[in-house]
A and B are shown apart, each in its own frame.
Chain A
Amino acid sequence: MKNTMRPRRFVGLAIAAGLVVSVAACSSESGEDTSGSSGEQSLEVWTRSAAESAASYQMVFDAFTEKTGVEIDYQPVQEFDTQLQARASQKDLPDVLINDASSLGNYVAQGFVLPIDRESIEGEGDISDETWEQNVGLDGETYGIPWSRQANVTIIRKDWRENLGLEIPTNWEELASLGEAFATQDPDGNGQADTYGMVVPGSAKSGYIARWGNSYLWQAGAEILEADGDGYYTSAIDSPEAEEGMTYIRDLFCTPGVVVPGSVNLTTGETPFFGQGTAGIYLTGPYNISSFDTLLGAENVEVIPMPEGPESNTTFAEGENIYFGASSEKADLQKQLAEFLVTQEAQEIAMKVETNEAGVTSQPVVRLPVNENVDVAAVTGDDRWAIVAEDYANDSKTFPWNIDFNSFRQILADGMNAMVADCSSDIPAGLASIDEQFQAQLEAMDLVK
């Protein structure tokens, strides 16, 4: 008897589990329906966040709820775009999405987001015209309200540099020789050749190498795509300036030690070298400063003004926007939340580093405030952020946001990855090949006049 009972119980369990799964699958839709109609006073908001940045958003949303009584159903989602596609196929998008400004063109093309009447937004004057204009779509309408901006900065191991008695690099040559010095002169003084110059996410996966390297292309005077102002684009990558920029990047890869070996296959998640103390130069987003401070001590982490290239010291800028979900029927609440988020109060809350009840230390989600009344150095109490703000304001450029740039970014990254993988690669031919693919892609996307 004993023996027969067990399998039966398992069968019972399996059936029960199956039923629970199917019931849950059925009820999920009705569940969303109720949340959709559960009173006017709640908003579903999605952000692409891990626990640390979610803690930062939560502080802002709590302040909003306290002020207005409007509940925020906050969903930090890590696989943002995949999950968003799933919700889109149910024709039920979140009311508000806060995500990359570079997704603007993609979201508009897919019909995910609503246009915004800039004039109707209270406090729109606190945001500069330049910042607003970044959010104009191909059709001339404004989509998304600016929320945060940032520029990549060059971060250096200050103690290493000082150990070797070297100055802050101000141009390309000095940057490259600092990298070489870090690799060859034992900057950490442990008597072993275990340090390298630059950290580079050089993989083509998700376009990493393009996001890292395009700053150098721009600094050489190169362009990637050129807009004609009427919503059309032409490829501009096949130029002598781009060749100069690519040659510099390849030389970095091909001088032993300047770039961490094997970087050609690595993404940002696989390049912990700066924080680990194995490499000393990193061109990256300023949001990394706080984690490097924790690992290495703030006194050893130095942010330097962008070293000058042959043409400029342009750096790569990115940002986040507040988008209004197209299927939402809560236009007033969407607007109310967005208006609060761009106030000085909200922007400053989102720049704070605080530990919440669950013991999670927040990672600021507003990097450079869009509200011009906020002084980044004063709020953070950190002069290095003033350099970030200067780099952004002086000379920064973004990928085009009003088109779905992902496929171009991928083509550029694949091409750049191929050119740096082989130290005797034919750079003009590589650029010509990118150019050809750009043109085909522009045609496929109807972006050619």
Chain B
Amino acid sequence: MTSDTLTGTTAAGPARERSRSRAGRPPRRRRPTTWRSFIPWMFLAPGLLLGLIFKFYPMFEGFRMSTAKVQPFLGDIYVGLDNYTRVLGDERFRDALGHTIILGLTQTVGALVLGALLALLLEGQARRIWFVRTAVFLPVVTALAVVGELWRILYFPTESGFLNQVLGFLGIPPQEFLSDPSTALGYIAVVGIWTGAPYNMVIILAGLTGIDRSLYESAAIDGVSVKQRLRYIVLPALRPAISVVLTLAAIRSLRTFTEVYVLTGGGPAGSTEVWMTRVYSLGFQANDLGVASAASVLLLLATLGLTVLVRTLTTRKGKS
């Protein structure tokens, strides 16, 4: 209950201040509260209520559970920071963190590079290009679970597997793909790049269309090379778009779950276990909701930290 009232006041506070400062003009300031002033709140109420019930309440419950030994029926026991110590002291969580970071970095960089390439290729006004763009964008609108299933079939590790057949034509021996602990993480990253790149492409495309065409024209008059054009016109103009892409990727990469869960379930030999699959198996398979909550809170903090970091880095670069 206390968390409800807390969120209620924090949500209302800034909004009220904002409306006051916006009102600005002195005669309006002391107007008595009439039923009319409640109208906006009535419109907001359903959304706020839903947000409160389905977002904020579960979030605070998560914080509370992270400091408890969770026993829904017998009642939770407060254990302080024990759960956090267990997460930080757990070797498998540390391994999972390493895998998450590797996967996050490869996927982010890969998807950014591929997305930028696709954007440069598919930029333009040509009528028929929309068809190609739609086709390229398809992985983004396909459910990740489905994408995972499809790739698992493509990756089937014998000569009869689809990708191995393709490799066979090129004279390359069949690969183990996801069955080999040393390569599994890499092949998961490929799936991540494949699904992530088109999304980045769209954001970068939007950035590209924002570039003033006259800059290209004057550059052409000055006789610059393609390389120079990219370096001095396109890239600086794309900075805001890339910043958005990076921020989104940073958030997304830390909470990677579906593709790993569907493709390998964290195996083989734990070589693809990421933070969220570890949280899932602790929370819902070993029934240790306290530790799982603590790990989730840590993930939230890390995501928050990373987002702030990316934002500051990109804006600082922008100013300099």
Contact = CB atoms under 8 A, between A and B. Distances in A.
Interface of A: 11, 14-15, 18-19, 21-22, 25, 81-82, 85-86, 88-89, 91, 93, 106, 110-112, 194, 203-207, 261-262, 264-265, 267, 270, 326-327, 404, 406-407, 410, 414, 417-418, 421-422
Interface in B285-302: 285-289
B267 A204 contact: yes
B66 to A, nearest CB: 16
B265 A265 contact: yes
Interface of B: 43, 46-47, 49-50, 53, 71-74, 152, 155-158, 160, 177-181, 263-271, 281, 284-289
Given A22-B53, A262-B156, A262-B178, A14 B270 contact: no
A258 to B, nearest CB: 13
Given A18-B50, A110-B72, A205-B266, 16 more contacts: A22-B46, A22-B49, A81-B287, A82-B284, A88-B73, A111-B71, A112-B73, A206-B285, A262-B155, A265-B179, A267-B265, A270-B152, A407-B286, A410-B286, A417-B269, A421-B271
Contact of A19 (B46, B72, B73, B286): B46
Given A88-B72, A261-B158, A417 B286 contact: no
Contacts of B284: 81-82
Contact of B269 (A18, A110, A327, A418): A418
Nearest to A270: B152
Contacts of A110: 71-74
Nearest to B265: A205
Q: Which of B152, B158, B177 has the most CB of A within 10 A?
A: B158
A86 B281 CA distance: 18
A81 B289 CA distance: 13
A130 B173 CA distance: 55
Contacts, number: 104
24 contacts: A14-B46, A18-B49, A18-B50, A85-B72, A86-B72, A93-B73, A110-B71, A110-B73, A203-B267, A205-B281, A261-B156, A264-B267, A265-B152, A265-B263, A265-B265, A327-B73, A406-B286, A407-B286, A410-B281, A410-B286, A417-B268, A418-B268, A421-B180, A421-B268
Contacts of B179: 261-262, 264-265, 421
B265 A18 contact: no
B73 A21 contact: no
B141 to A, nearest CB: 23
Instruction: Name the residue among A81, A82, A106, A407 with the largest chain B CB count within 10 angstroms.
Output: A407
Nearest to A256: B158
A14 B158 CA distance: 52
A21 B269 contact: no
Contacts of A11: 43
A326 B271 CA distance: 41
A25 B30 CA distance: 39
Determine which residue in A15, A110, A265, A327 has the highest number of CB atoms from chain B within 10 A of its CB, and name it. A265
Nearest to B286: A407
A203 B265 contact: yes
A93 B88 CA distance: 35
B73 A265 contact: no
Given A88-B73, A112-B73, A25 B53 contact: yes
Contacts of A422: 181, 269
B92 to A, nearest CB: 8
Nearest to B86: A444
Contacts of B155: 262
A110 B287 CA distance: 10
Given A14-B46, A111-B73, A404-B287, A205 B156 contact: no
Given A262-B156, A265-B264, A421-B179, A89 B72 contact: yes
A205 B266 CA distance: 8
